[in-house]
Every structure is written in structure tokens, then in C-alpha cells.
Structure 1
Amino acid sequence: MAQQFSSKSRWWLWCLLALSLAAIDQTIKQAVSASLPLHASIQITPWFNWTHVLNPGAAFSFLADASGWQRYFFSAMGLLVSAILLFSLWRGVTNRLVTASYVSIVAGALGNVIDRVRIGAVVDYLDFHWGLWHWPAFNLADVLVVGGAIFLVLSSFTFPRNEMKQAT
């Protein structure tokens, strides 16, 4: 009989993976900041620009015009969610997809928290558009958070192997 998966046995590895993904995010953001002036864009394709913008708010610039409290609120929320998910991984998650989701969300949250603490806003650089329609710019950390959330939703539609065997 195969041993059941548990995130607990390799907790340090999941933490290292999350930190590595956050470091990749930070490296890209540093390269964008160093090589492209703020608000500048380079057209890559007719529907994609590499750009350099700052977002002091949350997704879709939500609360970007607030008085500054949102920097601390979103930083605290990112740290709180990361701590809860890391604690859950330490206690032992038995689903690989949920583990990947948690690692992805932690990495993205920490990547954006580092920006908020360091410069007070998140560096965004991916700008997709079609004609005059522009999707709000985003970054790798955002992709990790959204991807992790999608994986988490998808994992809710799967059955653990032993439950599936009992159902048949």
C-alpha cells in the first residue's frame, strides 16, 4: 500500500519553494524598476505590453486612492493569510493540489507584501490589452495568488483516493 501524502513531512521544502517563488517575483520587479521608467511601456505584441506601474491598492487598483491605510491593511492581511496557510502545511495537508495552492498563494502574498513594505505600492508590469480595452496591469505574485485560488477551487471537486475507492 502506498504511503499517504502529507505536506508535514516536507514542510521546510514547501516554505523554501514559496520563498523561491517570491524571490523570483522580486527579481523581476527589481529588473522592471531598474530598466523601465515609471509609467513607461514597451509593446511586445499587438495585445501585450511590458510596463512599469505602481499600484498602492489591491486587485484592479481597489482602494488605490485611499489615504494610505490600505498599505498596512493589505500587508497585514498578506502576512496573516501566509501564516495561516504555512501553519496548515506544517500541520499536514493530505492533498497535493491543496499543498500546491497554499504554496502558490503564500509566495504571491509575500511577493506583494515585500513591495508594500519596501515602497508602499506593488510593482506591476504585465499589461494585456485589445484595442482600447486594457486589463489592469499585474505581476507574477498576482498570477501566483489567482492561480493558487483556482487550484484550491479545483481541489474541492476532487475526491481523496480512499474515498473514491469506497464510492465505487
Structure 2
Amino acid sequence: MRKLKTAAPWFGLSALVIVLDLYTKHLIQSAFLYGEHLPVTGFFDLVRYHNTGAAFSFLANAGGWQHGFFTAVSTLASAVMVYLILKNQHNTLFCLGLALVLGGALGNLYDRLTLGYVVDFLLFYYQQWAWPAFNVADSAICVGVGVLLLDSFKTPDPS
């Protein structure tokens, strides 16, 4: 029980990511029809897209089997991340990265389970080139992975 109490800030961060992700997706779903674009700048639009695949629409057109696969992978990965946070909760950089990835994974998992797809709404582009649309959860996952990579370059503690 003590481990859970001291890991609470990491799980709180994950919960914050989930809340921000679901709230922003709710705002987009309330304000936009599927496929609708709202130009914000010359390189950024708010949109409403539905992604049945993984990151950046990977396997989005795979015929449907990917839904169960990505649900299972997200669930298993989330359980592993909870375990790793509990086991390494005093490793600040490592747990920060895991907490961000966990929150993002669970935010997208919620969409996948309740809607059958993930809502994406941030679209960056330059002329005819566009980065695939993404959301707050995807952003947290990318930042979290970056933090985990940074953590991997730390010199191990000799103790």
C-alpha cells in the first residue's frame, strides 16, 4: 500500500493526461463533423478525423483485426507501465516518461473501446505535405518516449 501512495503523483499525472485528452476530444466531437477542417494558421488546422489504426494511422485500413490487437497491446503495455512505475517510483525521469505514455495509452484505449476508433484533431502541414493528425494522448506518448530515451542515456547509479 505504501508503494501505491508514493507512486500517486505519477498516476495523478497519467490521470491528468487522460482528462485533458478526453476533454479536448469531447470538444472536437461537439463542434466538428467528421472530416471537417478549421484553418487556424497557414500550417495548422483543427480537424475531426477517426483513426482505426495505431500511431499516425498505422494499419488503419487493415480490415478490422487491428482493433482487438491494439486494444490488447494497449492493455498489456499499460499493466507493464503501472508495474514499472510502482517498482521504480523514485527514478524521476523514468517515471515521468512512463506516466506520460501511460496516460496517452489509456486515453486512446478509452476511445478505441467506446467508439471503435481514436479521435484525432491536430493537423500540421506545409503546402501539400501534412503530418498525420494527432491528439493530446499522442502528444503525451511522444513526449513520454522522448523522456524515456533521455533517461536511457543517464549514467547508472553505482549503488
| TM-score bucket (shorter structure) | over 0.9
What letter corresponds to residue 61 of structure 1 in structure 2?
Answer: S
Give the corresponding residue for 1:133.
129
Could you tell me which runs of 5 or more consecutive residues in structure 1 were left unpaired when the two chains were aligned: 1-6
Distance 2:114 2:142 in 1: 23
What percent identity do the matched residue pairs reach? Answer: 34
- The question of 1:78 aligning with 2:74 is answered yes
Q: Identify which of 43, 46, 63 aligns with 1:50.
A: 46
Kindly report the root-mean-square deviation, in angstroms, between the aligned alpha carbons of the 2 structures.
Answer: 1.6
Please say if residues 115 and 123 of structure 1, whose CA atoms lie closer than 8 Å, have aligned partners that are also in contact.
Answer: yes
Distance 2:5 2:56 in 1: 38
SS in 1 for 2:40: strand
1:8 deviation in Å?
6.1
Figure out how many residues of one structure are paired with residues of the other and give that number: 157
Mean Cα displacement is larger for which, 119-128 or 94-103? 94-103
1:98-131 per-residue CA deviation (whole Å, 9 max, x = no partner) reads 1100000000000100010011111000000000
SS in 2 for 1:45: coil
Distance 2:137 2:109 in 1: 10
Distance 1:144 1:102 in 2: 10
SS in 2 for 1:159: coil
1:11-67 per-residue CA deviation (whole Å, 9 max, x = no partner) reads 123222212211110000011001011100101000000110000011221111122
Q: Which runs of 4+ in 1 moved over 6 A?
A: none
1:104-160 per-residue CA deviation (whole Å, 9 max, x = no partner) reads 000000010001001111100000000011110001100111111111011111125
Q: Identify which of 8, 11, 14 aligns with 1:12.
A: 8
Give the corresponding residue for 1:102.
98
Could you tell me which runs of 5 or more consecutive residues in structure 2 were left unpaired when the two chains were aligned: none
**Which structure has the larger Rg over C-alpha atoms?**
1
Please say if residues 22 and 107 of structure 1, whose CA atoms lie closer than 8 Å, have aligned partners that are also in contact.
Answer: yes
Normalization by structure 2: what TM-score? 0.92
Normalization by structure 1: what TM-score? 0.87
